[in-house]
Amino acid sequence: MSLKPLRIVLLGAPGAGKGTQTSRLLKAIPQLSSISTGDLLRNEIAKKSEIGSVASKYIADGKLLPDLFMAQLVTNELRQRNWLNRDASFLLDGFPRTANQAEKLDSELESNQANVNLVVELDVPPSVILDRISNRWVHSSGRVYNLQYNPPKVPFKDDVTGEPLFQRPDDNPETFKVRLDSYFKELAPLKQFYIKKGVYDKVSGDTSDIIFPKLLELIKKRFS
């Protein structure tokens, strides 16, 4: 599938399936590559870099990283990959999370003629997300399993290494509901920013299998 240059932002609550949709899009659209802020931060923390040290302190305190810090992290990565140009195609997973981050990112991209040209919100009911989270188990590599629809071959063991899986400390309904409430509060001004830019859209569904065909069709219509 060959499409016009597409620069996509995926919005969605924690647990909405942004990572799953990103993986599927990368397989379906060969010209597309992605940047995950979660992966960038995990790599920096693992390297024990200065960026990683700052990030780990905020994460340990349960705080969001400063907008300017995150914007610089992403734009530096875009620059290193030579994606700050009008012919580049990329997908941002997990960024921006606030309107302020979106403004800072937009300023950098606009000056390089690499504006975001599609923002898609993955609209999944909070009740569905909370059910997913209670069944989510992870491996230290970042591989994620769900006991209901993507279980490990051996219960509570990683498929690749056989090492034990674990649940993240905040993957419980009470703590996660606080994260969801915070997300939706931040989402309103972020959506408005992209609605005014004329690039916002939304796909709804209870599962990734329902959402993905809608998402792919939307992209085909916009960029064929």
Considering 179, 197, 214, 222, which one is annotated as catalytic? 179
Active-site annotation holds for 136? yes
Q: Is 55 annotated as a binding residue?
A: no
Q: Is 94 annotated as a binding residue?
A: yes
Q: Is 17 annotated as a binding residue?
A: yes
Q: Which parts of the chain are beta strand (E)?
A: 7-12, 33-36, 90-93, 118-123, 136-138, 144-146, 200-204
Q: Is 179 annotated as a binding residue?
A: yes
d(CA 115, CA 44): 26
Q: Is 37 annotated as a binding residue?
A: yes
Q: Is 16 annotated as a binding residue?
A: yes
Residue 147 near residue 154, CB atoms below 8 Å: no
Considering 7, 24, 97, 104, which one is annotated as catalytic? 97
Residue 152 near residue 139, CB atoms below 8 Å: no
Considering 18, 24, 104, 132, which one is annotated as catalytic? 18
Q: Is 19 annotated as a binding residue?
A: yes
- According to DSSP, the residues that pair with 9 across neighbouring strands are 92, 119
Listed in sequence order, the residues at least 6 apart from 97 whose beta carbon sits closer than 8 Å to its beta carbon are: 64, 70, 183, 186, 190
Q: Is 34 annotated as a binding residue?
A: no
Active-site annotation holds for 81? no
Joined tokens for residue 31: 């010209």
Q: What are the distances in angstroms from CA 85 to CA 6, 89, 108?
A: 11, 9, 11
Considering 47, 48, 81, 168, which one is annotated as catalytic? 168
Q: Is 99 annotated as a binding residue?
A: no
Active-site annotation holds for 7? no
Q: Is 136 annotated as a binding residue?
A: yes
Q: Is 178 annotated as a binding residue?
A: no
For strands 136-138 and 144-146, give the pairing.
antiparallel
Annotated binding site: 15-20, 37, 42, 63-65, 94-97, 101, 136, 144-145, 168, 179, 208
Q: Which residues are catalytic?
A: 18, 97, 136, 168, 179
Annotated binding site for GTP: 15-20, 136, 144-145, 208
Annotated binding site for AMP: 37, 42, 63-65, 94-97, 101, 168, 179
